[in-house]
Structure 1
């Protein structure tokens, strides 16, 4: 029962991490440029750029040309999509391998191996998401110190959402791929430690 609960917890965490990764990929707040003079805010995501005044009359424009985008946007977009695909496959594989499902009943070794494979997929997806997001932030920081003060971008909420998704998938993948967590522990029959009763001879029968 404990192993099934841990597998289910890992699956829920991984599923939440996948949802956060999808949300971060679709969000437009990867980079933020705020002008103090006109209170104009500009957000740049992986797919579009939005700008407006105090979140009013916001206009967005899609990135039409792939080759005109910075290299960090192109690489982050590709890695995030691959991470989502890998985690989606991990959802299907983990569903088959978890003990609370009826797939592959009667074959515990195969179910444990399938659950472990799904957990490894989640962990790989989390590592890819964490690595590409951290590299994207590093690029923003490098540009921040090298650009003019009016054109300095800062990383936005999508970065934190992506990091949170990566941590959730890594944690959930560890629970799913843990061998000790997926194996049921057999009950151990403890020996009877109670002392055996040995009747003592009656002193009245010792002498005739």
Structure 2
């Protein structure tokens, strides 16, 4: 009962992580314009994401433009694209594998060992998806903080942490929790490997009565028999 509830909880948490990873990948709010100084135009906000950058004027009109060239993008943005796509694939595939290994499904019936292995494989996929989310989000956040305190950059070039980064960190936490729920389980033994004695046989066990074994002793009948069988050399 407890394992069934943990499997359902892991699926729900993993589904939330998958939705969060998809939202983090598609949102353009990875880098936001930093309003510093008196010369910054606060009526215009610039957002930079993995696939496009957007301009919003006076909270009314927003225009987005997809990046023209992939090679023009910085290295952390290119790596973030690949890692976030990998996290989506791993998380989605892990949930499908976990669905086949759950107790409430009819896949692989009467094989508890195979179902447990499938759930552990799904947990490993969720853990790798968590790592693929944490790396680009933390890397991008580090670059933003480093450039923010860089004295060589002007105020218009500085950026702040966007909403997508915070959603990415929360998504990584959900994926990690789902992975732990899938991985923290006991692997059952194969059928017939350790079931040597049945419980009923152990309760109804009665020792067999011991039979005393007497060693038979055959005394030598007479000395004449020895003499008859003795060796007589020929004269």
* Fold agreement, TM-score > 0.5: yes
Give the counterpart of 2:52 among 48, 52, 55.
48
Q: 1:157 to 1:6 in 2, by over 3 A?
A: same
Give the C-alpha shift of residue 123 in structure 1: 1.0
Give the counterpart of 1:110 among 110, 114, 118.
114
Contact residue 94 and residue 114 of structure 1 kept, 8 A: yes
Q: Radius of gyration: which is bigger? A: 2
More helix by share: 1
Is 1:151 paired with 2:128? Answer: no
Give the C-alpha shift of residue 83 in structure 1: 0.9
Is 1:95 paired with 2:94? Answer: no
Matches within 5 A, 1:1-208: 1-35=1-35, 36-146=40-150, 147-180=153-186
Give the C-alpha shift of residue 55 in structure 1: 2.3
Contact residue 34 and residue 40 of structure 1 kept, 8 A: no
Give the C-alpha shift of residue 34 in structure 1: 4.3
Structure 2: distance between partners of 1:140 and 1:34 = 10
Q: Could you give the per-residue CA deviations for residues 39-65 of structure 1, whole angstroms, max 9, x where no partner exists?
A: 210000000000122321211110121
Q: Could you give the per-residue CA deviations for residues 13-60 of structure 1, whole angstroms, max 9, x where no partner exists?
A: 011001100001000100001454342100000000001223212111
Q: Could you give the per-residue CA deviations for residues 138-187 of structure 1, whole angstroms, max 9, x where no partner exists?
A: 0111111122122210111000111111110110111011124x86xxxx
Aligned residues: 184
Root-mean-square deviation (Å) = 1.7
Which runs of 5 or more structure 2 residues have no equivalent in the other structure? 189-198, 200-235
Q: Point out the more displaced range, 133-142 or 29-38.
A: 29-38
Give the C-alpha shift of residue 128 in structure 1: 1.8
Which runs of 5 or more structure 1 residues have no equivalent in the other structure? 189-208
Q: 1 or 2 for the larger relative contact order (CA 8 Å, sep ≥6)?
A: 1
Structure 2: distance between partners of 1:136 and 1:60 = 21
Structure 2: distance between partners of 1:179 and 1:161 = 29
SS at 1:60 equivalent: strand
